[in-house]
Amino acid sequence: MAIIYTSSVTAIGPEAASFLAEKMLVTFGANAPAELRDYCYILDSATSSGPIQPGSTAIIDGTAMTVTAIGSVAQKNLDALGHVTLVFDGADVPRMDGAIHLLATGTALPALQEGSTFTIENP
């Protein structure tokens, strides 16, 4: 597997975990708008080195999940802004242009904390 993206959580908004009830989490870079910052996991700046696509593997704190769908602007937003919505539903069609859908069968949703790692690999 080739690592194409890696970052870590530097801060967590007080309401960020509220999206986990909907099987989602939202990330943003250090320049997150003030009105969104409370709802995001803040990531270190990083840029992907290859395409994120169905079949890629997302790894959060050592838990691997398969990318099943990716919205049309998700990789662009992740690279430019650190912003993406991770949706843990295994859908094969993205419901938002900025979403990456993940298959997390048999695993609990991630309990991110400061220092948590987020990596994406391609076969």
* Every domain of the chain and the residues it spans: 2-122
pLDDT (mean) for 80-86 = 97
Q: What region, left, alpha or beta, does residue 32 occupy, with left being phi > 0 and alpha being psi -120 to 50 degrees?
A: beta
Is the pLDDT at 111 greater than 90? The verdict is no
pLDDT (mean) for 46-66 = 96
Read off the pLDDT band of 67 (50, 70, 90).
very high
**Which tops the pLDDT comparison, 66 or 108?**
66
Which amino acid is residue 92, in one-letter code?
A: D
Host H or E run for residue 80: helix 74-81
Read off the pLDDT band of 11 (50, 70, 90).
very high
Q: List the one residue out of 72, 4, 78 whose CA is nearest residue 41.
A: 78
Instruction: Give pTM, 2 decimals.
Output: 0.94
CA-atom Rg of the chain in angstroms: 13
| CATH code that applies to domain 2-122 | 2.40.33.40
